[in-house]
Amino acid sequence: MISTQDRQDAIELIDEAVKAGARRGRACQELGICERTYRRWQQGGALQSDRRPDAARPTPANALSEAERKRVLDLVCRPEFASLPPSQIVPALADQGTYLASESSFYRILRAHGLQHRRGQAAAPSKREPRRHQAHGPNQIWVWDITWLPGPVAGTYYYLYLMLDLFSRKVVGWEIFAKENSACAAQVLRKASLAERRGLEPLVLHSDNGSPMKGATMLATLQKLGIASSFSRPGVSDDNAQAEAFFRTLKYRPGYPTKGFLTLDAARQWVCKFVSWYNFEHRHSAIKFVTPAQRHGGEDVAVLLARDGLYQQAKAARPERWRGPTRDWSRPGVVWLNPAPDRPKETETAV
């Protein structure tokens, strides 16, 4: 709907354009209306307001009467029904040989009278917001997870433990074991901390709520190394998306043995080659197509500057081929873990 004031403003703009020599049809088109609408708004020589909100609407023939609505309200407030939702009340009434209205009508009447709330003594489910963290550089936030790798026989698996730096997407630690527990996870974490030479620098380790993630050995190792734990919300699939994306890249890599690894050593050798390719050769789309190792070590700054300079030279040489600015090669800056809905996951900064 277009308000009366907006209609008046549009008419004045169109009349002003016509006086200046413009055609009325083109002026109406610029404002997104047709010339017929312009004439309709001025029928009878006066501005016509939108009558749709005040239009008389007939009552549907199948609508409940006031007496029927009151009967529904009286019934849902009875002691035997006071703690039940309409989805329980309507079948119970049917078993008693009574039909008043549909289940949706019950809900509609309850909402209209402010009675649509959680019934009974159970507390309403809370929408718990996740804890949000941000990384300005490497070794500030790690994410980790475990995935199954097929073994030589159907139904047997090896377990790949992975730790990934959120800022650079570099694999900082991994190992494959024949079992899944917190002791194995703690071993991978200790090795990753030594390999990255992080000492006791602040670090957040994010994971899901699996038993290896919350086992006593793993939690004790986190405390000993001065690492803060962060866990996904129950039932939320995208709180640890980076680790899941890595597993998808791994399992769709050409040469991945879909029929299974013959031995544990064979699985370790294959994943070792994959991790080397991923860290040092794979140009990651989330970090402007530089390798995780380049971003982890800060070498991506020079790489992105060189790319931007090359594009600027290409545009200067053949400007007719460019309708707008060159491709954005600015470096992604702050990376968020569980960002707010209105906040981007990566905040770009100029290189």
**C-alpha distances in Å from residue 79, one per residue of 70, 83, 143:** 16, 8, 51
Using an 8 Å Cβ cutoff, are 165 and 138 in contact? yes
pLDDT higher than 50, residue 171: yes
pLDDT at 349: 47
Using an 8 Å Cβ cutoff, are 189 and 220 in contact? no
pLDDT at 39: 85
pLDDT at 348: 46
Give me the mean pLDDT over the 260-278 stretch.
96
CA distance 89 to 68: 16
Give me the mean pLDDT over the 324-341 stretch.
86
State phi, psi for 65 to the nearest 5 degrees. -75, 170
Higher pLDDT among residues 49 and 20, named by residue: 20
Using an 8 Å Cβ cutoff, are 242 and 169 in contact? yes
CA distance 192 to 333: 24
CA distance 5 to 13: 12
Give me the mean pLDDT over the 287-304 stretch.
96
pLDDT at 200: 74
Higher pLDDT among residues 15 and 171, named by residue: 171
**C-alpha distances in Å from residue 228, one per residue of 219, 223, 224:** 10, 8, 10
pLDDT higher than 80, residue 46: no
| Percent of the chain residues topping a pLDDT of 70 | 88
pLDDT at 120: 62
pLDDT higher than 60, residue 259: yes
pLDDT at 350: 40
For the ranges 73-77, 157-161, 275-279, 297-301, which has the lowest average pLDDT?
A: 73-77
pLDDT higher than 70, residue 133: yes
pLDDT at 128: 67
Higher pLDDT among residues 267 and 347, named by residue: 267
For the ranges 96-100, 185-189, 292-296, which has the lowest average pLDDT?
A: 96-100
Grade residue 351 by pLDDT with cuts at 50, 70 and 90.
very low
pLDDT higher than 80, residue 3: no
pLDDT at 113: 86
What is the token pair recorded at 292?
């995780």
CA distance 105 to 278: 57
Give me the mean pLDDT over the 125-131 stretch.
67
Mean predicted lDDT score pLDDT of the chain: 87
Give me the mean pLDDT over the 18-29 stretch.
89
Higher pLDDT among residues 233 and 112, named by residue: 112
Find tokens 């009875």 and name the residue. 78
Using an 8 Å Cβ cutoff, are 263 and 229 in contact? no
Give me the mean pLDDT over the 242-264 stretch.
94
